[in-house]
Structure 1
Amino acid sequence: MSEEKQLAFETRALHCDGHGKPMHAHVWPIFQTSSFVFDSPEHGRALFAGEQQGHIYSRLGNPTVEALENTVKELEGGHASFAFGSGMGAITCSTMPFLHAGEHIIVGDTLYGCTVDLFHEHFHQYALEVTAVDTSSMDAIKSAWKPNTKMIYLETPANPTNKISDIGEIAKFAHERNALVVVDGTFSSPYFLKPLKLGADMALHSVTKYISGHGDVVAGVLTVTTEDQAKICRGWRKVTGGLLGPQDAFLVLRGIRTLQIRMERIQQTALTLAKWLHDHPAIEKVNHPGLEDFPGHDIAMKQMSGVGGTFSFTMRGGYEAAKRLLEEVKICTVCVSLGSVDTLIEHPASMTHACVPEELMIKQGLTKNMVRISVGLENVEDLKADLAQALEKCEKPKA
């Protein structure tokens, strides 16, 4: 793979799973099997003892899943990748096996709702201290630091406000204090953001989103930078049973083949819509890193090669206007998740982030008049016209 590492991203996305596929297959076949046959009792013993490489049981490893993991590893520039049955599986593996009772983790104050739930409702059961801070502020991180801090966990861009954190600066600060940095880059995909190259120790994605990209898979992936981290992840997944299934791995591999072209088109359309909404009289604020007046714009341009297609905006008419907008769109699909080939629109406060405590919502700037949109591959003028007719109705009373 050393020669392929010099190739462009889109070329590697098509070829880094190798040409020597089983039975001369053009694409990786689906190994839909729970177990693998041993050549002999000695062969089985050697596999279980770790003396030979091979497959034993699909919870421990499956060729289709490993083809996906090797592909993501190459695209992320990491040491090893691990595929899970959901993004939350990757998030859990990136934190819990690396922390011990009595230790402290700093987490971003703006995160996906279930991530917030994990950190603030469940970590205390394992005697783990959690402090949520604005990770776009180094002063906030420094103020929250404790002698027992072992990890900083953040999303950038963060869901749903697109808050941008400086990965390089955070990693430098944490590594000087022997702590790990974990970055959820779901909003960008590995095409637009490479956290490991910026200094993060682990990078993860909800593969359900842009990496797969077609709204038909639930999956997660975690990429690590050292063999010690990889050993911990292998052991964790072995006993917790979160391995991705081969059918889903096959679909994700297929999605990766078009990741670059999807992201480029989606980014272009989303920025056009964000600029248009920015100047619309019904819109109070647009949270898109590509806008020059967005607070994290400069850092985003420094550490990202593109800004993705998911952003949020707030309605001047409050919650009722946000609700009416979702009721009136015709092309945009009212649906949670993001990163699909079609445009999805939702209300974070009552949907994806409903489990976030109200005080943390306020801290995040996650208001009830906020709408999140994940732009797809539709024609930009069609999307603009759909939003325009819905926004016009928001300003009029219902018939």
Structure 2
Amino acid sequence: MSDQRGFSTRAIHAGYEPDPLTGAVNVPIYASSTFAQDGVGGLRGGFEYARTGNPTRRALEANLAALEGGTYGRGFASGMAATDTLLRSALRPGDHLVIPNDAYGGTFRLIDKVFTQWGITYSVAPVTDIDAVRAAVRPETKLVWVETPTNPLLNVGDIEALAGVAHDAGAKLVVDNTFASPYLQQPLSLGADVVLHSTTKYLGGHSDVVGGALVTDDEELDAAFAFLQNGAGAVPGPFDGYLTLRGIKTLAVRMDRHCDNAEKVVDFLSGHAKIESVLYPGLPGHPGHEVAAKQMKRFGGMISVLVAGGIDAAKDFCARTEVFTLAESLGGIESLIEHPGAMTHASTAGSLLEVPDNLVRLSVGIEDIDDILGDLENALR
């Protein structure tokens, strides 16, 4: 089938054709640690050992590449495993990278606490300020790492402009596309060199599997990813691959519902006396609204708010919801609420990436909107 097919068609079909022996429409779970060979070195379908390759994982990787419009896809055991593989593939002692001033806490922790021990340095810059990113670049810069929208402040970076900054410096642009998903945004088409996902989130979509992915058009980078994927072994199991593929099949319809519900939540919270401000790229007053409208199909299902009354009011808001579950992670069919400063971004405390203590992040699910709004109204009462 052609890669020119529509998004939902690719999501359902890319990477797998019905099994020629049984006609199975869904990809089988190949729960085998090893594969029979037809003589020494005679590999059937290229498979020898499940860490090196697995048919279920291969189907997932081909599907992910097709969704992002990329040539190569690699699956990993988690988003952080994908992050670690990318950093180790692209950086050597003495190298430098630029990261957002509100990056995901886990990404910051890995870079700040682990990679700096190996002689890697980093600078912090807002993804919204192209001049600031350019000023942060050094002769030894190898990566410009961005999230857009960012986690958790939902700032928006101009991917095409950031790619220009990175490439002018001889560096690669990496875009963490987890918040947007490939349905809403495809960074490779805008000049990014690598797209990263925590497939745990919108791609899997059901809060039942952990995974990560890297997608690129760069053959040399992909070879480095493949080497570490096999050599370090942080690979997803076949059941993980199956669950992620199952989730991907409904990504488009889920994302539209996430966006529909988020827009109504934004309307409700924007006029609420107990909310200081709402952070959402779909708001015309959001500083990244025009860029988001240019490079995203819609504005996503993630919302952050600053709660009037400080940290105690923010934590009380989180504790009082019922439809919204107080939990880390995001992008599942159920609505989640969290306090980033004490939860997902606790590692940024005291750093340049520290988040406001009255910040609350909402992952708006696909429940009935009246129930979502009623829950928020009760929690803020």
Q: TM-score, normalised by structure 1?
A: 0.93
Q: Does 1:264 align with 2:256?
A: yes
Whole-angstrom CA distance in 1 between matches of 2:242 and 2:190 = 29
Matched ranges for 1:86-105 at <5 A? 86-105=78-97
Q: How far 1:236 sits from its partner (Å)?
A: 1.1
Sequence identity of aligned pairs in percent?
A: 40
Partner of 2:98: 106
1:18 CA displacement: 3.4
Contact kept? 2:16, 2:27, Cα under 8 Å: no
Letter paired with 1:385: G
Number of matched pairs: 380
Aligned to 1:190: 182
Residue 314 of structure 1 is matched in structure 2 by 306
Aligned to 1:334: 326
Name the counterpart of 1:386.
Answer: 375
Return the offset for 1:176: 2.1
- Provide the C-alpha distance between the structure 1 equivalents of 2:72 and 2:105, rounded to a whole number of angstroms: 27
**What amino acid is the match of 1:325?**
F
How far is the alpha carbon of 1:319 from its aligned partner?
0.9
Contact 1:106–1:133 (CA under 8 A) maintained in structure 2: yes
2:193 is aligned to: 201
**Pair 88,177 (structure 1): closer, same or farther in 2 beyond 3 Å:** same
Deviation at 1:177, TM superposition (A): 2.2
* Structure 1 match to 2:277: 285
CA deviations 1:339-389 (Å, max 9, x no partner) are 000100010000000111323244xxx211111110111111111111101
1:18 matched to which residue of 2? Answer: 16
- Aligned positions of 1:1-399 closer than 5 A: 1=1, 3=2, 5-21=3-19, 23=21, 24-43=23-42, 47=43, 54-362=46-354, 366-392=355-381
The residue matched to 2:61 in structure 1 has which SS? Answer: helix
Structure 2 CA distance for aligned equivalents of residues 303 and 59 of structure 1: 36
Distance in structure 2 (CA, Å) of the matches to 1:320 and 1:359: 22
Please list the CA deviations of residues 303-359 of structure 1 after superposition, one character each: whole Å capped at 9, or x if unmatched.
111111011101111111111112211111111100000100010000000111323
Q: For residues 310 and 153 of structure 1, what CA distance do their matches in structure 2 show?
A: 20
Q: Greater CA deviation, 337-346 or 91-100?
A: 91-100
Kept after mapping to 2: 8 A contact 1:160/1:372: yes
Contact between 2:15 and 2:61, CA under 8 Å: does it hold in 1?
A: no
Q: Structure 1: which 5+ runs fail to align?
A: 393-399
C-alpha distance in 2 between matches for 1:100 and 1:388: 51
Contact 2:199–2:213 (CA<8 Å) still a contact in 1? yes
Whether the aligned pair in 1 keeps the contact of 2:29 and 2:239 (CA below 8 Å) is yes
**Secondary structure of the residue that 2:362 maps to in structure 1?**
strand
Deviation at 1:22, TM superposition (A): 5.1
The whole-number CA distance in structure 1 between the counterparts of 2:324 and 2:18 is 42
Q: Contact conserved, 2:137 with 2:169, CA < 8 A, in 1?
A: no
Residues 156-192 of structure 1 deviation map (CA, whole Å, 9 limit, x = unaligned): 1000111101110010121122210000010011000
Following superposition, the deviation at residue 7 of structure 1 comes to: 1.6
Q: Distance in 2 between matches of 1:307 and 1:233?
A: 30
Q: Secondary structure at the match of 1:7?
A: coil
Give the distance between the partners of 1:389 and 1:41, measured in 2 at CA: 67
Give yes or no for contact 1:288–1:294 (8 Å, CA) kept in 2. yes
Residues 94 and 182 of structure 1 are in contact (CA less than 8 Å); yes or no, is this contact kept in structure 2?
no
Counterpart Cα distance in 2 of 1:250 and 1:134: 37
* RMSD, aligned CA: 1.2
Amino acid at match of 2:10: R
- Does structure 1 retain, via aligned residues, the 8 Å contact 2:79–2:198? yes
- Whether the 8 Å contact between 1:290 and 1:307 is mirrored in structure 2 is yes
Question: What residue identity is the alignment partner of 1:312?
Answer: S
Give the CA deviation at 1:112: 1.1
Q: Normalising by structure 2, report the TM-score.
A: 0.97
1:20, CA displacement in angstroms? 4.0
User: How far apart, in 2, do the equivalents of 1:376 and 1:22 lie?
Assistant: 38
How far, CA to CA, are the matches of 2:246 and 2:134 in structure 1? 42
Shift of 1:27: 0.6
Moved segments of 4+, more than 6 Å: none
Shift of 1:42: 4.9
Which whole-Å CA distance do the structure 1 matches of 2:100 and 2:175 have between them? 10
Q: Give 3-state SS (helix, strand or coil) of 2:351's partner.
A: helix
